[in-house]
């Protein structure tokens, strides 16, 4: 356990967008323990949107996912020996090297023991071993707080950089007073994707309630094409806002929605953190490690079991039953753009019946009266 004063702290979280959100409980734990310190966070370029407006950090530093020499030199100038303490949430080579460059006191997640990784234990003053199978990522990160001897905070802090106006022209209905659901259809990788037929049938069910439907997403052409296919049967009742909002605005919309549904993606983690009723459609992903963190969950135990459909707090995690589920692999073809048969076989009527079983009408009875 480290006991010292750290006036400047660097937290390294160079992974994907959702991982930045999952590091916020650790970030808040550090902020509460070091209220007067400068705390900077290092992320990949364009991956820090989940930290926008976060009150627990002072500066966001970014580096390319595959830096060239000039980019490395720029980072060197930004971090070299500028910190009292560097903390890596990752066990890879580059994050550990960044800690060595940044500070004389270092703690990190390290890989399981094998001789090639011995140097990673040698360059840090304290470490916790990576468990990539049985420990949720939030709890894995919080083990770093334990090394510092500070109290754990379990809250995911959602982005709050901007406020969405009630009459925002991007949303052609009174979203602040009218019931609606938010759907996020397209994850980063195809192996996490549900079916177009499934989404269409689910939308038809929501429109019968009647609820308006909002589709969120990114601004890539392939994603827009996928959303357009889903929208074909619902030209007026479904609003596609993909690529138009930042994460703070999306969080605000989800927070005041009746329900959110999405696959294993950053926005699904965000939805769970808002406290809105959240349905997560999972296939090969291991829920022990990567389930959405339920709003208000404060246990040191994983929120979800490894297998099966289950509900914890505001999160309903739906996962098909099968001998290989979850395989924790990148689809049936073992690459990121392959299909996952477990998700392809998941029918909309199954999802609908589970929503009706686990969420009562009271869960959807809120009357939205403001944008707060």
CA–CA separation, 143 vs 128, rounded Å?
Answer: 7
Q: Provide φ and ψ at 75, rounded to 5°.
A: -65, -40
**In-domain check, residue 42:** yes
DSSP SS3 for 280: strand
Q: Is residue 212 part of a domain?
A: yes
Q: Is 179:211 a contact under the CB 8 Å cutoff?
A: yes
pLDDT at 371: 32
pLDDT at position 334: 83
Tokens of 163: 């406020």
Residues 249, 224 contacting (CB under 8 angstroms): no
Tell me the two tokens of residue 58. 């002072």
Dihedral over Cα of 30, 32, 34, 39: its sign: positive
Domain count, the chain: 2
Inter-residue contact 34 to 100 (CB < 8 Å): no
Q: What is the pLDDT of residue 362?
A: 67
Q: Is 66 domain-assigned?
A: yes
* 84 and 193 co-located in one domain: no
| Cis peptide upstream of residue 185 (ω within 30 degrees of 0) | no
Q: Is 140 found in the same domain as 87?
A: yes
Q: Check residue 361 and give its pLDDT.
A: 67
> Does residue 139 sit within a domain?
yes
Structure token digits, residue 355: 């929503």
Domain that holds residue 231: 180-364
Query: How many Cα neighbours within 13 Å face the side chain of 294?
Result: 20
Per-residue pLDDT of the chain (372 residues; tens, 9 = 90+): 556 679 999 999 999 999 999 999 999 999 999 999 999 999 999 999 999 999 999 999 999 999 999 999 999 999 999 999 999 999 999 999 999 999 999 999 999 988 778 999 999 999 999 999 999 999 999 999 999 999 999 999 999 978 888 889 899 888 889 999 999 999 988 999 999 999 999 999 999 999 999 999 998 888 889 998 998 888 788 999 999 999 999 999 999 999 999 999 999 999 999 999 999 999 999 999 999 999 999 999 999 999 999 999 999 999 998 778 898 888 888 878 888 889 999 999 999 999 999 987 667 655 443 332
Residue 173 in any domain: the answer is no
Looking up residue 131, the CATH number of its domain turns out to be 3.40.50.2000
Residue 137 shares a structural domain with residue 198: no
Nearest residue to 282 via CA among 313, 251, 226, 327: 327
Distance between CA atoms of residues 18 and 15, nearest Å: 8
161 SS3 class: coil
Residue 116, pLDDT score: 78
pLDDT at site 337: 85
In this structure, are 339 and 275 located in the same domain?
yes
DSSP secondary structure string, 137-159? HHHHHHHHHHHHT----------
Cβ–Cβ < 8 Å for 40, 9: yes
CA–CA separation, 227 and 251 (whole Å): 20
**Residue 312 shares a structural domain with residue 221:** yes
Q: Say if residue 58 is in the same domain as residue 143.
A: yes
Which of 148, 171, 201 is the C-terminal boundary of a domain? 148
Same domain, 80 and 217: no
Q: Is residue 230 part of a domain?
A: yes
**Three-state DSSP state, 285:** coil
Q: Do 205 and 322 have their domain in common?
A: yes
Q: How many of the other CB atoms lie within 10 Å of CB of 20?
A: 28
What pLDDT is attached to residue 365? 58
């Amino acid at each position: 356990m480290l006991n010292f004063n750290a006036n400047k702290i660097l937290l390294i979280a160079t992974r994907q967008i959702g991982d930045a959100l999952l590091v916020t409980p650790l970030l808040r734990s550090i902020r509460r323990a070091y209220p007067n310190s400068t705390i900077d966070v290092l992320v990949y370029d364009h991956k820090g949107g989940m930290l926008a407006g976060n009150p627990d950090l002072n500066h966001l530093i970014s580096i390319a996912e595959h830096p060239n020499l000039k980019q490395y030199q720029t980072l060197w100038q930004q971090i070299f020996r500028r910190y009292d303490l560097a903390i890596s949430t990752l066990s890879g080579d580059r994050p550990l090297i960044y800690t060595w460059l940044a500070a004389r006191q270092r703690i990190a997640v390290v890989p399981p023991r094998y001789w090639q990784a011995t140097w990673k234990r040698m360059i840090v003053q304290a470490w916790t071993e990576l468990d990539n199978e049985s420990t949720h990522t939030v709890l894995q990160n919080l083990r770093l707080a334990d090394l510092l001897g500070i109290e754990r905070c379990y809250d995911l802090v959602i982005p709050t950089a901007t406020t969405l106006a009630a009459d925002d022209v991007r949303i052609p209905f009174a979203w602040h007073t009218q019931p609606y659901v938010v759907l996020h259809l397209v994850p980063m990788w195809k192996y996490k994707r549900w079916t177009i037929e499934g989404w269409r049938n689910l939308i038809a069910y929501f429109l019968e309630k009647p609820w308006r439907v909002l589709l969120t997403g990114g601004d890539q052409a392939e994603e827009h094409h996928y959303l357009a296919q889903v929208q074909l049967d619902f030209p007026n009742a479904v609003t596609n806002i993909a690529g138009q909002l930042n994460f703070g605005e999306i969080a605000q919309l989800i927070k005041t929605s009746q329900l959110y549904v999405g696959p294993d993606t950053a926005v699904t983690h965000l939805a769970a953190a808002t406290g809105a009723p959240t349905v997560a459609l999972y296939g090969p992903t291991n829920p022990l490690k990567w389930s959405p963190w339920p709003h208000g969950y404060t246990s040191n135990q994983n929120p979800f079991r490894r297998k099966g459909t289950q509900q914890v707090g505001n999160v309903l995690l739906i996962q098909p039953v099968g001998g290989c589920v979850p395989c924790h692999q990148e689809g049936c073809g073992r690459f990121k753009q392959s299909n996952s048969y477990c998700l392809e076989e998941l029918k909309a009527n199954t999802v609908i019946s589970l929503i009706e079983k686990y969420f009562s009408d009271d869960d959807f009875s809120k009357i939205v009266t403001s944008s707060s």
